[in-house]
Amino acid sequence: MVEVFAAIFERPNFLTFVVIFLWGFYIMVTRYNLVKKLVGMYLVQTSVIFFLVSISAKKGATVPILLSPTASVQAIDYVNPLPHVMTLTAIVVGVATLGVALALCSAIYRTYGSLDEEEILKKLE
Amino acid sequence: MSFVFEISLLLLLLVTAAGAILVKDLMSAILLLGCYSFFLSVVWAWMGAVDVAFVEAVVGAGLATVLFLLTLFGTQPKDVRLRRPPPPIAALIGLPLLGVLMLYAAKDLPAFGDPASPPSVRISPSYLQQSYQDTRTPNVVTSVLMDYRSLDTMVETVVIFTAGIACAFILRRKTL
């Protein structure tokens, strides 16, 4: 039991990821307001990206820009660049999907006059 | 010293995320979400991911906040529901259980900042060592994004173009 807690506190990035991910997911499931659901979706997206980037960190390493092109490169001096590239794509695509979702929200408000899920369902019947 | 800095930044992240979730007024929630994005970009800059931090500060804290605010100006800026019905039992039991399981698996993950973790020793050293000979770019992230993975980046622009077209069609007024 003590080992598990020690393992968690050695990885504060993972603890932060779990809290934000699950809380955002809970908001997506339980809230009735559509914009609030999208806030939860944004938290889920960014928490996953945060976890992927935090895997790339190395203690005592610098940013992945080569200090001198001619000297031979030691990989331990630079943080891992590959998760950065993948998450750059993920951030931009995430915001694009968020934009489409928000456009859908305002179209729903224009048609039904409400952003509350239950009122919309009542008007749909 | 460094540990104190790290913990306080992560606490700020959690506090702003909690504020964005708990605040009733949607406008305040959106602005707190912008703060959360900005603190996230600060955390990333501190971890050495400067390119990701720039993109998050511009696209996440800037563009996403503006999109949320534009939506709110067209709709109602308050969560009108004063009393919420109780949440479903499955969410109340399942999500904490999932959290406990995830935290129980924490000891199998590499420790934070470990230079000998599997993602840092398997394939990324060859990218770091060969990218200047291959692409003549000192920034390794740029050389991977624009050179090794340029097809991915090109198709990503197709995704963004599709999203823009979709928004234009959704928001088009019917009376032309």
- The per-residue pLDDT for range A12-58, each reduced to its tens digit, is 888 999 999 999 999 898 888 889 999 999 999 999 999 999 888 88
Of A24, A35, A46, the CB nearest to B71: A35
pLDDT at position B73 is: 87
pLDDT at position B116 is: 82
pLDDT at position B1 is: 45
Bigger pLDDT: A68 vs B29: B29
Least Cα separation, residue B176 to chain A (angstroms) = 16
Phi first, then psi: give them for residue B108, nearest 5 degrees: -85, -10
Averaged pLDDT of chain A:
88
pLDDT at position B176 is: 53
pLDDT at position B79 is: 67
Query: Quick check: A73 and B129 CB within 8 A?
Result: yes
pLDDT at position B163 is: 93
Q: How many CB atoms lie within 10 A of CB A30?
A: 18
User: To which H or E segment does residue A110 belong?
Assistant: helix A82-112
Bigger pLDDT: A98 vs B2: A98
All residue ranges of chain B with pLDDT < 50 are 1
Q: What domains are defined for chain A?
A: 2-57+79-124 (1.10.287.3510)
Q: What domains are defined for chain B?
A: 1-84 (1.20.120.1200)
Looking at the complex, does the CB of residue B129 fall below 8 Å from at least one CB of chain A?
yes
For residue A21, give the 3-state DSSP assignment. Answer: helix
Least Cα separation, residue B175 to chain A (angstroms) = 14
| Residues of chain A contacting residue B76, judged by C-beta atoms under 8 Å apart | 109, 114-115
Best residue of A37, A80, A106, A121 to probe chain B, by most B CBs closer than 10 Å: A80
Best residue of A46, A49, A121, A122 to probe chain B, by most B CBs closer than 10 Å: A46
| Residues of chain B contacting residue A79, judged by C-beta atoms under 8 Å apart | 47-49
Q: How many CB atoms lie within 10 A of CB B145?
A: 22
Q: Are B39 and B9 in contact (CB under 8 A)?
A: yes
Q: Are A72 and A80 in contact (CB under 8 A)?
A: no
pLDDT at position B38 is: 93
Looking at the complex, does the CB of residue B33 fall below 8 Å from at least one CB of chain A?
yes
- Buried b / exposed e along A64-81 (16+ C-beta atoms within 10 A): bbbeeeeeebebeebbbb
Query: Quick check: A39 and B29 CB within 8 A?
Result: yes
